[in-house]
Amino acid sequence: MKLKMSEIIPHGSYEPDWSKRLMVSAQKAQGQLRVQEFLDDIADLCVCKDHLTWYNVDVATLLEGCSIHGHTTNPRDGSAILFLDSSVVACHPQTGRLQHYPKSMVHCFIDDHRRGEEAAPDGAVFSVELFSISPREEELCFILECHQEHEIPAAQREAARWLGWLNG
């Protein structure tokens, strides 16, 4: 049986909260999807069971109600960074720390060492760094390094996402 709009909402009446509720529901669903995408990427990393539990229980709980715009994971140490509306959250499973930084204090540097002028001390040929200078040595320092040329395009895509978020 099909209902006509006039049968759902009588003519002449208007339910102003209906469209607002629908938009909030869609945003909530999108937020839950982004959290699940993040947790799926964490599960794909080779992290220990304790770190995986920390992400799936503690971090996921803290993300309820947050609007995640994107994330980046670091397969070398299991850390991650989350891009929210107007801030970034750094996740450090080794220490169990979540650190929150306002967008206005975050910077992005890209170092291409393939030119040969200045070699990276650790042998990286390309690196992308998201950082913030904060008090008490609690600065954000999230680095993706490439030690092989074929890793560079993925790091460049991440840098483009980071810069898009910073300038959005």
Q: What is the pLDDT of residues 23-58, one digit of tens each?
A: 666 667 777 788 899 999 999 987 789 999 999 999
Domain boundary assignment for the chain: 16-167
Q: For residue 5, what pLDDT is reported?
A: 45
Q: For residue 6, what pLDDT is reported?
A: 47
Q: For residue 18, what pLDDT is reported?
A: 58
Q: For residue 137, what pLDDT is reported?
A: 64
Q: Does the predicted model carry a pTM greater than 0.85? A: no
What residue type is assigned to position 119 of the chain?
A
- Reported as a pLDDT band with limits 50, 70 and 90, residue 114 is confident
Q: For residue 11, what pLDDT is reported?
A: 54
Q: Distance from CA of residue 127 to its chain's centroid? A: 18
Q: Is the dihedral of CA 13, 14, 15, 16 positive or negative?
A: negative
Provide the H-helix boundaries in 45-151. Answer: 49-53, 60-62
Over the chain, what is the mean pLDDT?
Answer: 83
pLDDT in tens, 130-155: 998 876 667 888 888 989 999 999 99
Question: Which residues, 6+ apart, have CB-to-CB distance to 135 below 8 Å?
Answer: none
Question: Which residues, 6+ apart, have CB-to-CB distance to 90 below 8 Å?
Answer: 79, 80, 81, 97, 98, 99, 101, 140, 142
What residue type is assigned to position 86 of the chain?
S
35 contacts 63 by C-beta, under 8 angstroms: yes
